[in-house]
Amino acid sequence: MKFSDPIKIALRSLRAAKLRFFLTVLGVVIGVAAVILVMSIGASAQALILSQVEKVGSNLVGILPGASEENGPPASAMGIVTTTLKNGDLKALRQKANVPDLVAASGYVSGSAVVESSGESFVTSYQGVSPDAVSIENMEVSEGRFFFLEEEEDLSRVAVLGSTRADELFPNGGALGSTLVIKDIPFRVVGVLAARGSSTFSNPDNLVYVPLATAQKTLLGIDYLNFARAKIDDTSHIDRAMEDIATLLRDRHDLEDGEESDFSVRSTAQALEVLGNVTNVLTYFLTAIASISLLVGGIGIMNSMLIAVNQRIREVGLRKAVGARPRHIMTQFLIESAFIAGLGGAAGVAFGILVAYLASVIIPRLGYEWEFIVPVSSVLIGLAVSLSVGFVFGLFPAWRASRIPPIEALRYE
């Protein structure tokens, strides 16, 4: 028997049951497309997140309250409120003798409230920051100025607006020097920032910035920092600066040798590694969930092949009567199930790539820098798994067909 013979027989039998064939293939298409789509969107989302972190700068160090594993996120990054980082820690960091390589440091707190101007009001996120935030965040002031250190220390009620928020609160212009109200407290607008665009975590154009101490004591009623960032003079000094920061904070927090730190110090490179690990885990987890749909497709293949076996008992008997061996019958039915799975896998790959491409067209229109990424591994995994599913779920129907006795098959009507 030629190698092409089982393929011809398979095509003929599949054409005889077009609807069943289509529905069986559709189950595999959906499963493979789900795998491709999840891995593609996961890779694109990871690229977006990492690119946003990289834009912050390679010479930055983040200080977060709460302990953490070396390669894991601190508790505060998981939404757990930790109050171990104080304003005094920030002031100590700024002293040149403590961290010689540090050139700028800012504390951060945030909240949301109704912000009102003349005739306009919005529920808006606001952020309390230090004057050094301009340098650390690479902010550009398009109108007016940013805060002075004296304004932070004397709890001045001044504000700097992101470009979009300025346009919304003052649609007719004239934001600079105007008054806006946050939690029934008036603030004078001293500056407007240039547009920066959306980031993965927030849109700075929509924020209202106020002095750090003012946000803490006047708006939030807290005495701690959500986190802090420090700018180091050179990337080659990052490790030394991180050691100096950790030593300083452990001493200030009265931590004994061997006692776990109640803070975490991370560089941009470490943040990239942690985020990469987290996004990889999420992608693999979601891919595993999406792969369950392939099992449904496999069950569909088994069901379809069992029906085919029952409908072709006479054909099997005739082939055995003219010399076909059980292995030939098994090969025949395995080729059919593999063909269904392979065709579904190829169509699923194409459909998954198409949907991923559409996502890459739509998402940038929402203001995000979304790349069209389809990992080669996702295509290979999709095809390999679909063929494996076809083979595995086709084994039992093929074995059952090969066990049909020729005499019984010939008598079958």
Q: What is the DSSP string of 130-191?
A: -TTHHHHTT--EEEE----HHHHHTT--EEEE-HHHHHHH-TTS--TT-EEEETTEEEEEEE
Q: Is 65 exposed, middle or buried (0-12, 13-18, 19+ CB in 10 A)?
A: buried
pLDDT at 89: 93
Residue 225 pLDDT level (bands cut at 50, 70, 90): very high
Burial 295-319 (b: 16+ CB within 10 A, else e): eebbebbbbbbeebbeebbebbbeb
pLDDT at 3: 46
Give the residues across from 232 on adjacent strands.
Answer: 102
| Contact in structure between 133 and 60 (CB atoms under 8 Å) | no
pTM comes to 0.59
The two structure tokens encoding residue 104: 């700028």
Report whether pLDDT(325) > 70. yes
Report whether pLDDT(9) > 70. no
Query: How far is it, in rounded angstroms, from Cα 222 to Cα 21?
Result: 65
Report whether pLDDT(70) > 50. yes
3-class secondary structure, 97 = coil
String of DSSP letters for 3-62: THHHHHHHHHHHHTTHHHHHHHHHHHHHHHHHHHHHHHHHHHHHHHHHHHHHHH-TTEEE
Q: Is 365 exposed, middle or buried (0-12, 13-18, 19+ CB in 10 A)?
A: exposed
Q: What is the pLDDT of residues 109-161, one digit of tens each?
A: 999 999 988 778 888 899 999 999 998 888 889 999 999 888 888 889 999 99
Alpha-carbon 225 to chain mean position: 26
Residue 316 pLDDT level (bands cut at 50, 70, 90): confident
Report whether pLDDT(93) > 70. yes
What's the maximum distance between 2 C-alpha atoms anywhere in the chain? 101
Q: Mean per-residue pLDDT for 190-208?
A: 78
Residue 103 or residue 396, greater confidence: 103
Burial 79-96 (b: 16+ CB within 10 A, else e): eeebebbbbebbebbbee
| Contact in structure between 233 and 101 (CB atoms under 8 Å) | yes
| Contact in structure between 255 and 262 (CB atoms under 8 Å) | yes
Report whether pLDDT(345) > 70. yes
* Domain spans of the chain, in order of start: 4-52+274-411, 83-261
Query: How far is it, in rounded angstroms, from Cα 65 to Cα 83?
Result: 7
Query: How far is it, in rounded angstroms, from Cα 208 to Cα 264?
Result: 27
Burial 173-182 (b: 16+ CB within 10 A, else e): eebbebebeb
* Residue 203: closest CA among 78, 368, 63: 368
pLDDT at 309: 75
Residue 187 pLDDT level (bands cut at 50, 70, 90): very high
